[in-house]
Amino acid sequence: MLNERCESRSPAVIVSTCNRFEIYWWGDAPWEEWLTELATRRGIELPAEAIIRRSGLAAARHLFAVAAGLESQIVGETEVLGQVRRAWEVSREAECTSRELDLVFAGALGAGRRVRRHSFAGRHPASVGSVAVDIARAERGGSLDDSRIVVLGSGQAARTVIAALLDREGLGFTVVSRHPDRAASLAVAGRVEIVPWDGLPNALTTADLVFAATGASRPVVSREQLVRALGASRPMTVLDLGVPRNVDPTARDLPGVTLLDLDDLRRRGCPAGAPRSNALRDAEDLLADETERLARRLRALSASARLARLHRIGEELARVEAERAIEELGLTTESEREIVRQSSRRLIRKILYRASQAIQDQEPSAAQGETLGETTA
């Protein structure tokens, strides 16, 4: 997508994960219009209220919070930091960044690492998948050893679940996927069975623990499927990790079914993310410091660019005026001409020194602050 659009639009980075699609850009190109057109071409209804626009340091502050895991479904998860890094790398490979945008994303990665080193986030699970597996184990009496486990999906979210399950030595499970070839790369001999998607009904009938983690835009497990799959005396625990939901929410009231979604995981897996949490406020204070640091760096970069232009103009002005003076004075020796040239350059540099100090000390104007844009859909 970036290769198609970068040449005619401003530098940009697209951060796309299982539960977010965000565009960060530098300049004034209409990326929101492009996003709406893209959604329309792909048959996706994207109402105006689904698009959130941020500008200036507010956009940077949001990116910093994303990289730190404060905007994740499970507050403090670390996987998103790598996702932000990869998004930036893709944009750089496509030659679609700028010095300013690179500075913003370098700052975001630094902010994410700092929050994890010095706040509660560093003590929290590494992914949504690890939280889901831990909660499933608690639901099932502290052990998954005798559980018949099914994972739906083989994309990003499912991979975090699979990795967490594989960390439990000796645990076997089934992966149901629309992309068996991709799922096969996740398999460990003797521990993971790969089943194509049309095998979902049969897989559910053998399961008592299901992790639904597909990227589908609508529920892939219906209430009726769960009713048919339930055994006479076999309760089933279902963890729905999809955004939007993978499992029909009305299945929550089925006897014998415990259905937990991402909101449940957030409440159980991250008490530090609760309102009025001191730990969360500490993390936000760190991000405020990092945002101010970015503002100073952007100001210095902006000042540097303006000073370079100003000095180029000044040097050219000194040259033109020196040659005019040499001609008007009728100077014939090279030593006399060089004295005039040096005097002209010294005069311009003294004038530019004061101007440079004023530019370096100047706070960024509102217009400069609006140069960074971000859209979340």
Among the listed residues 6, 18, 96, 270, the single catalytic one is: 18
Please give the Cα distance from 117 to 109 (Å, whole number): 12
CB under 8 A, 24+ apart: contacts of 351-358: 351/314, 352/310, 352/311, 352/314, 355/310, 356/307, 356/310
Q: Render each residue's pLDDT in the chain as its tens digit; 377 residues.
A: 565 556 556 789 999 876 678 899 888 777 777 788 877 887 777 777 778 888 888 999 999 999 988 887 777 677 888 899 999 999 999 888 988 899 999 999 999 888 887 765 555 545 778 888 989 999 888 889 889 999 999 887 888 898 889 887 678 899 999 987 777 776 665 688 899 999 999 999 989 999 999 988 789 999 999 998 886 557 899 999 887 889 999 999 999 999 999 888 877 765 444 444 566 777 888 888 899 889 888 877 777 777 778 788 888 888 998 888 988 888 889 998 899 899 888 888 888 777 777 766 654 443 344 577 777 76
CATH no. of 2-124: 3.30.460.30
Fold topology of 128-269: Rossmann fold (3.40.50)
- E strands present in 235-366: 236-240, 257-260
CA nearest neighbour of 360 among 311, 292, 296: 296
How many CB atoms sit inside 10 A of residue 143's CB? Answer: 11
Domain boundary assignment for the chain: 2-124, 128-269
18 belongs to the catalytic site: yes
What's the pLDDT score for residue 365?
Answer: 42
Q: Which helix (H) or strand (E) holds 22?
A: strand 20-26
State both tokens at 108: 């975001």
- The radius of gyration computed from the CA coordinates of the chain, to the nearest angstrom, equals 29
**Is the pTM of the predicted complex or chain greater than 0.85?**
no
**DSSP 8-class letter at 362:** P
Q: Greatest CA span in the chain, whole angstroms?
A: 110
What's the pLDDT score for residue 377?
Answer: 66
Sheet with 372-376, side-by-side order of all strands: 12-17, 20-26, 372-376, 52-55
What's the pLDDT score for residue 276?
Answer: 45
Q: How far apart are the first and last CA of the chain?
A: 16
Which residues on neighbouring strands pair with residue 374, listed in sequence order?
24, 54
